[in-house]
Structure formats: structure tokens, C-alpha cells
Structure 1
Amino acid sequence: MGEITRGGPSRRHVLASGAAAAGLGLAGIRPALSAVEWKKHAGTTLEVNLIKGPRGEVLQRHAQDFTALTGIKVSSELIPEQQQRQKLVIELTSGRPSFDVAHLSYHVQKRQFDKAGWLADLSGFLKDPNLTEPSLREADFSPAGLQYAKTPNGEMRSLPLSVDYFILYWNKELFQKKGVALPETFDDMMRAAETLTDPKAGTYGFVGRGLRNANMALWGSFFLAYGGEFLDAKGNILTDGPEAVEATKLYQRLLTKTAPPGVVGFNWMESMAAFTQGRAAMWIDGVGWAPPIEDPNASRVVGKIGYAVVPKGPRAHASATYGDGIGVAQASTKKEAAYLYCQWAVSKLMGGRLLQIGGGVPFRDSILNDAEVQTGVKMPGEWLGSAIGSSKISKLGLPVVVPVAEFRDIVGAAVTATLSGADPATELKKATDQYRPILERSEKA
């Protein structure tokens, strides 16, 4: 893998690119005027727990704007993702969290937070015109965002903040050299990948996550395209059915026949390195990787890359979706003030800032489609189009369960095993049988 990563963007450079861009001018974004009683809780101080990264950093950097709007002071803490998740669980379990506002990773924590009731129901606040701007409506969030934010009982226990749609990145130069058209279906994509693979030239048709656990994000895209559902109506896991087997066969074929050597050990970083060096023609991954791809200091393919919605699968057209939200701790004594912060965090102003620097994509359709916001987007127009298109076909890329890490480890190991020649049906059955009791125990807890 050393050869693949040499010359590619470093992890520090990738994560810094969004933060560094935050100083750019933000064209066309103006705070909205409304009847909201923004100053109602002036003088209050909120404690805010944020995930370190472009989203959290933008919120922390512009907290003074929120204070100017509301008179509410903000004391925020930025914590690396894994440690932040642990801190949330420990403090919320204690019943005495040190924070009023929590930034959460939906695809990992959704079910756990719902079961525990750790976050306050915001439904009443959303309906109060004295607390909520008219533009902030449930219908403005993408379907996946609402599915993440709402409990099975219909309570809105957080506001969807930033979404990671999986899209198709493609190298126009390599496609043109081989006379290949942008694939519209998964069958087209497989044929294109085979045509574009030229080991003698050091170029390959496809690259993606092959590493156990990390690979579940890519595999989920294929599973959804084959019509897969992670859970049935009773909550039983469905990762050994025909949809899962066919999805894994495609994954196996793409990564063994058309991907660079060593792909079995690739996470997003290694995949990006191969792609930004021009060694791969296609890459399916999160929508947020455009800034390093378009950075001449980190990429050899600047100006050569196209961005598209993932191709249609045999039974469905879906963009595997992951994301994060922001909510109010149930134990907080400052719920209204904390809600005002959450509303500000998902506002046009803040969502536009995030989108324009390429640091994230808001869950709100009105921000994505706003002409004023679009004028200041620094990424190519195709990138924005892929995000807008993906929002219309968004579907959760992981099951909504408490033991998500165990799911990714166990099923991910099965999928990785197929890259060494193991039979997909056999491996998936073993993995599903191993995972099923873990899931059942978690639901009984």
C-alpha cells in the first residue's frame, strides 16, 4: 500500500482542506429575518459537544454569530470522532451530562440514542412560530434525514445536520481515452470497469474500500441497489438473502478483477490516493471528498474528474446515506436556548457555509437548491448536482441497530473474505448466523 499512498493527500491535509477553506467569502448568504424570539434567552451560556471535523469546526468558528443573534454565549468542545462518541455515551448514561447540545453520528448512534431517550423531543419547538423560522419544516429534510432524526413514534429528537451521500467519482480523461460512456446502470459500470482496467499502464477501472469494517459503506451501496433491506418488519437481520449474495458477487468481481493490487487493505484514504494519482477510473464513496480531489497540492487529477449519482441497480436506484445530527440533551435545563442553537446550526446561513467550502452537504433541500447559496459553491457544478440528485434517492446505508460496530466487523469480514476467493453465499450465512444473537441480545437489553 505504500506505493499507492505515496504522493497522495495525507490524512491531515484532507481534514484540513475543509477547515482552511472556511475563511473564504460566502457569496449570497444572508441571515433570514423572522418573528423568532431570538433574544428570549439572552445571557444564558450553553455547553456544546461537537465532533472534530469540518462540520464541528464551522459551528465553533462562527459561534460568535449565534451569540450576536441571540445573546446566548456558547462554550463548545471539539473532540475527535471516536473519543467524542464514547464521551457522549458515558455522560448521557450517567444522567448528568456536562453539555446541553450533542453532535451525534446517526449511522452509529441512532438506535442507541432512541432506545435510551437521551435526547429531548423537539417536535413541539418545531411547531412554535415564536421559536422556529417558517422555512424550517420537516418536509425540507431529505427522506433519509427524517428517518434518522425521528423515532418510531414520530418524535423529532434531533435536527439533521450534514449528510454523506455516496456518489460516483469518475476520471473523464481515462474514460475518453478508452471511448467509454458514463455508466447508467451497475451492469454498465461493471463493463466499463473491465474496459478501463489496464495493469500494464498501471490504471484500473474501479477502486473502493476493501478493508474489513470500512467496506460496509461501499457494500451497502450495492446491497441497496439489489433491493436489499437490512431488517425485516420484526427487526430480524437480512444479510444472507439473495439480494445480499448478488450484491457481494458484484463487489467481489469489481474489486478482484478491476481494482488496484492490495485493495483488500484499502479504506477511504488509500482509495482516494489511488484515485487522485490517476490510477483508478471510478470510485464510489462519500460526497465530501471533492475538496482534496480539486486541490492541486494534493491531486494529480484536478479538472479531470466528473461527479455523478451512483448508477441504477438491478432492482433499485439508491444512494447509500450516512450523516450526523444535532440535538438537545434530555437532561439539559436550558432546552429552549439549546434548541435555538440547533436551529441556527442547520440554518441556511450555516448550511450554506458548509456547502460552499465543500466541508459537508446539508440535509435540507432548500439549501441545496438555493440559487444564492449555489453561487458561492467552490466545487464543480457536477458535484453539487450529484448531491442534489442523491438527496432524492437517499436510503440509509447501514442498519439502524445498537451493535453497528459488530455488524460492520462481522459482515465486513465475510465480504472481505470473498476478495480472497471465498464463496459469497457461504460467508454471508456464517456471518449472519454469528451476528443474529448479538442483535437479539441488544434489543432485549
Structure 2
Amino acid sequence: MLVKKRALAVGAGLIISAVALSGCSGAGTSSKNVTLTLATVNNPQMKDMEELKGTFEKDNPGIKVNFVQMEEGDLRAAVTADVASGAGQYDVVTVGAYEVPQWGAQGWLKDLTPSLKDDKAYDVDDILPPVRTALSVDGKQYAVPFYGESSILMYNKEMFAAAGLTMPNEPTWQEVAGFAKKLNTAETAGICLRGKPGWGDLFAPLTTVVQTFGGTWYDENWDAQVDSPEFTEAVNFYVDLLKDAGEKDPVSNSFTECLNQLSAGKVAMWYDASVAASILEDPTSSKVAGKMGYVHAPVNKTEESGWLWSWNLAVPATSKNADAATTFVKWATSKKYQRLVGETLGWTRVPPGARTSTYSIPEYKEAAAAFAPITLEVMNAVNPKQPGLNPQPWVGIQYVTIPEFQDVGNQVAQLVADAIAGRSSVEDALAKGQKIAQAAGDKQK
């Protein structure tokens, strides 16, 4: 993977939580009488971790864990400034799969490889292989996953049955488009897809469509491919599908909006993050609980097209308590922790998409029967090194792991959103996007 040795800009999607990693040899202070500082985002999984931290503190006398909660944007700014300056205020950070390889190559994160390998009880080989690949650079692993996800196609089985339609386990995009048109009515959209501008909004699903149509953001020489025939075909397909059978005002919709529409029974299908399934199956918030089906991400020319994302725990190289931080991170991402969550808080709250063994726990298999098998199947099937037809000079599926991609993706997404809204053609949008992407590509050469 090619990463320039220069100061890295902050990546989009970084949720920073300070939680400690496992045993970085020779680093940090003694694990006795230590207070670890975790800068954390206020999301449900991190709230669960904070709720259960007393168990860790009881089992590790002398180590206290202090969670510092901030808004996501404030976290990005605070943790990046701390790590880049070497201040060492935080002992653990939660970073996305987009940031880990960049920060690791820059030397901002501890190399966890030795400490993970040496701890047989931790069982690093139990981590889902594609996730480990996404968190590694040149054979060195710089973070461990707290939870992960891929993308799947979710559909209302009752609507399909009423229309006499059968969804295959591995559909093509052409089949999905046909289903969507047949199921589209004045009251119910055939499909919901993200249209809100943003590299993590519109381009999260759209990049996977581009890849399965044979396109890519860059070739191996970092020459932009945004206006290539394959990229153009994929975007035209996406825009036409939204126009023919998509939800109303797609430019205003991202994950939450599509989730709300599908859970209310106003949409027949939705292609998005696998983590949504657990919400759709909650009868207290979803009208379609028990009525949903889940299959692989639709394809065109590739065998798979799901994305891969994880929120991960890492120890900054600047941590003054790296040994104790490592002890905590191992605990928070261990098999033992997952059982603690299930037995204490409920099995559907176990962090998904990180460990293979999670999917063999009888209680979890029963609680998550509707969506756990397909999630594991898809996450193990994706290839973050080459998700499309052609080799790429970075590791990642729905993003490009260069600092500039946040800005490139956001700008091109706005151009495509204009095409979705009918304010420009796809061809004009991508011609402008090509210039934006090439300027960033030139910096990688």
C-alpha cells in the first residue's frame, strides 16, 4: 500500500474513543495505579463498554478507565491534534478502517502485531480475515476491530410474495432493478438508495456499484478513472434506478432516512450497511420485524460487491500508559467481553462483524438468526485488496485510503447528487469529478 510519508489530514468518519490495546512490548508505564483516558463518541456500543468497564477494573486492580465523551467532529480535532503533536493526552482511540492504514504508516499508532500474536488466549486469528487485512500495512496490524459491518440487500418478504417475486441469495443489479420497477407504486418505493452528498453517504454504496460494473477511482498508477466508461455506466445505472423506482427526494436521504422508510413499510428494498438488520428486526421500533429477508450485495461483473467497514481500537504511539492501555483493549475486543455483553445486556447487543467465534455462540445465533449468518457470509467473502475487476494501489472497498479522498469524495458526490436531482448530466458531473480526483492522484505519484 502506498502512503506518502507526510503529515496526514484527518479522515472522514473518524470516531475517536480512547480505549486501550494489547501489549505493545516495551512501551508505556506499569499497569499498576494507572488511569487510562478514552476519548469516545457517544454511540450505543461505546456506552455499553463504559457501562461494563467496572468488570475490567475489578479484574485489573490499579487500572482505572476514564471515558471522555465528545461530539464526532470535536473528537476528530482533539485526537488528531493530540497524536500529531505527541502530547499523549489519550491512551486509546477508536478509528475507522479508513484512517488505520494511513495513521499506522505515518507512525501515529502502535504496531500491535507482536502483542497480539504472543497472546494465545486473545486469539488474533479469530478476527475476520478481511477486517484484519484492512487494518494492516506491510504485514503489521495497527488496530483491532470493536465491531464491523458489510453491506447487504434487505427486502420486504411480504411485498415480494404479494407480487409473486422470488429474491435470489446472490442477485444481480439488473434483477434488483427489475424487482424495484415492479414493486414501485405511488405509496411504496421499489428501492431506497443513498443520494445525500458525501463520500460516506452517497458514495458508500455507489462506490461498490462502480466496482462491480468494472470501474474504480484510480488505476495502479494513481491515474483517476472517474470519467471512464465503466464508472460512467455504473453511475448512470444508479441514477436511473433512483429515477425509475427510488424513494422521493433521494438527495435528502442517507442511512437514517432509508432505515426509517423501510422500517415503516414504505420501501420494498434497501441496499446498505448490514448493521441495519438488527434495528429492522426490533419489534419495538420496526413495523417490518419478522417480515424481512437479507441477501448478498447485488453484483454485475464481480462475484461479490459488499463493502467492509469497522470501528477499531488503537493505541496512539504517544500514549504514556501503553501497557495498561493494551490490557484494556484486549479485554474490550475479546471473546470474554462479547459473552459479557450478551449475558449482561442482551445478545443482540453483542458487537458484530469482528470475531468469527461470535457466530458460533448458541445464544447469539438464536437472537440474531435473521441476519447473523448473511452478515458473516458476506464479510468473509469481500476482498478489500481488490474489490473490483482491476488491481488497486490501496486497501479498502468503499473508500480510497489517501488523506485527500475525504475532500475528493465529497466534491464528486455533490456533482453526482446534482445529476440525481436533474440539474446536470452524469457525464458532465463525472468530467468535472475527473479533474478533482486527478489532482489528488498526482500527489500520490
Instruction: Provide the rounded CA distance (Å) in 1 between the counterparts of 2:231 and 2:59.
Output: 50
Residues 299-350 of structure 1 deviation map (CA, whole Å, 9 limit, x = unaligned): 2222211222213332331211122111111012322221121111211133
Give yes or no for the alignment of 1:147 onto 2:137.
no
Partner of residue 308 from structure 2, selected from 318, 321, 324: 321
What number of residue pairs does the alignment pair up? 393
Residues 9-52 of structure 1 deviation map (CA, whole Å, 9 limit, x = unaligned): xxxxxxxxxxxxxxxxxxxxxxxxxxxxxxx8243322122222
Give yes or no for the alignment of 1:431 onto 2:418.
no
Structure 1 residues 111 and 363, CA, compared in 2 at 3 Å: closer, same or farther? same
Instruction: Provide the rounded CA distance (Å) in 2 between the counterparts of 1:322 and 1:373.
Output: 25
**Pairwise mapping of residues 384-399 of structure 1 onto structure 2 (< 5 A)?**
384-394=372-382, 395=384, 396-399=397-400
**Pairwise mapping of residues 226-245 of structure 1 onto structure 2 (< 5 A)?**
226-245=213-232
Instruction: Provide the rounded CA distance (Å) in 2 between the counterparts of 1:227 and 1:393.
Output: 18
> What's the secondary structure of 2:141's corresponding residue?
coil
> What's the secondary structure of 1:127's corresponding residue?
helix
Instruction: Provide the rounded CA distance (Å) in 2 between the counterparts of 1:237 and 1:337.
Output: 44
Structure 2 unaligned residues grouped into runs of 5+ = 1-29, 385-396
**Pairwise mapping of residues 277-426 of structure 1 onto structure 2 (< 5 A)?**
277-352=264-339, 353=341, 356-358=347-349, 360-367=351-358, 369-372=359-362, 374-375=364-365, 378-379=367-368, 381-394=369-382, 395=384, 396-421=397-422, 422-426=424-428
Partner of residue 206 from structure 2, selected from 205, 219, 224: 219
Instruction: Provide the rounded CA distance (Å) in 2 between the counterparts of 1:363 and 1:146.
Output: 9
Instruction: Provide the rounded CA distance (Å) in 1 between the counterparts of 2:309 and 2:115.
Output: 25
RMSD: 2.3
Shift of 1:115: 4.4
More helix by share: 1
> What's the secondary structure of 2:149's corresponding residue?
strand
**Pairwise mapping of residues 184-203 of structure 1 onto structure 2 (< 5 A)?**
184-199=171-186, 202-203=187-188
Question: Which residue is equivalent to 2:72?
Answer: 81
Instruction: Provide the rounded CA distance (Å) in 1 between the counterparts of 2:299 and 2:320.
Output: 48
Residues 278 and 301 in structure 1, CA contact (< 8 A), matched pair in contact too: yes
Question: Which residue is equivalent to 2:152?
Answer: 167
Partner of residue 82 from structure 2, selected from 75, 83, 91: 91
Residues 351 and 362 in structure 1, CA contact (< 8 A), matched pair in contact too: no
In structure 1, give the amino acid aligned to 2:256.
M
Instruction: Provide the rounded CA distance (Å) in 2 between the counterparts of 1:351 and 1:312.
Output: 33
Shift of 1:69: 2.5
Question: Which residue is equivalent to 1:255?
Answer: 242
Shift of 1:360: 4.1
Residues 177-221 of structure 1 deviation map (CA, whole Å, 9 limit, x = unaligned): 11111142211111111111112xx01110011111111112022
Instruction: Provide the rounded CA distance (Å) in 1 between the counterparts of 2:127 and 2:93.
Output: 19
Structure 1 residues 260 and 271, CA, compared in 2 at 3 Å: closer, same or farther? same
Instruction: Provide the rounded CA distance (Å) in 2 between the counterparts of 1:193 and 1:371.
Output: 36
**Pairwise mapping of residues 61-76 of structure 1 onto structure 2 (< 5 A)?**
61-71=51-61, 72-76=63-67
Structure 1 unaligned residues grouped into runs of 5+ = 1-39
> What's the secondary structure of 1:234's corresponding residue?
coil
Residues 356 and 374 in structure 1, CA contact (< 8 A), matched pair in contact too: yes
Give yes or no for the alignment of 1:60 onto 2:61.
no
Partner of residue 106 from structure 1, selected from 86, 93, 97: 97
Residues 227-273 of structure 1 deviation map (CA, whole Å, 9 limit, x = unaligned): 44433333444333233222212211221110122112112122122
**Pairwise mapping of residues 113-152 of structure 1 onto structure 2 (< 5 A)?**
113-128=103-118, 132-137=119-124, 139-151=125-137
Instruction: Provide the rounded CA distance (Å) in 1 between the counterparts of 2:127 and 2:417.
Output: 34
Instruction: Provide the rounded CA distance (Å) in 2 between the counterparts of 1:306 and 1:78.
Output: 36
Instruction: Provide the rounded CA distance (Å) in 1 between the counterparts of 2:421 and 2:322.
Output: 52
Shift of 1:118: 1.1
Shift of 1:135: 4.9
Question: Which residue is equivalent to 1:210?
Answer: 195
> What's the secondary structure of 2:299's corresponding residue?
coil
Structure 1 residues 315 and 273, CA, compared in 2 at 3 Å: closer, same or farther? same
- With the length of structure 1 as denominator, give the TM-score of the two structures: 0.82
> What's the secondary structure of 2:417's corresponding residue?
helix
Question: Which residue is equivalent to 1:32?
Answer: none
Question: Which residue is equivalent to 2:162?
Answer: 177
Instruction: Provide the rounded CA distance (Å) in 1 between the counterparts of 2:350 and 2:259.
Output: 16
Q: Identity over the aligned pairs, expressed in percent? A: 22
Residues 56 and 78 in structure 1, CA contact (< 8 A), matched pair in contact too: no
- With the length of structure 2 as denominator, give the TM-score of the two structures: 0.82
In structure 1, give the amino acid aligned to 2:375.
A
Instruction: Provide the rounded CA distance (Å) in 2 between the counterparts of 1:141 and 1:232.
Output: 30
> What's the secondary structure of 1:361's corresponding residue?
coil
> What's the secondary structure of 2:410's corresponding residue?
helix
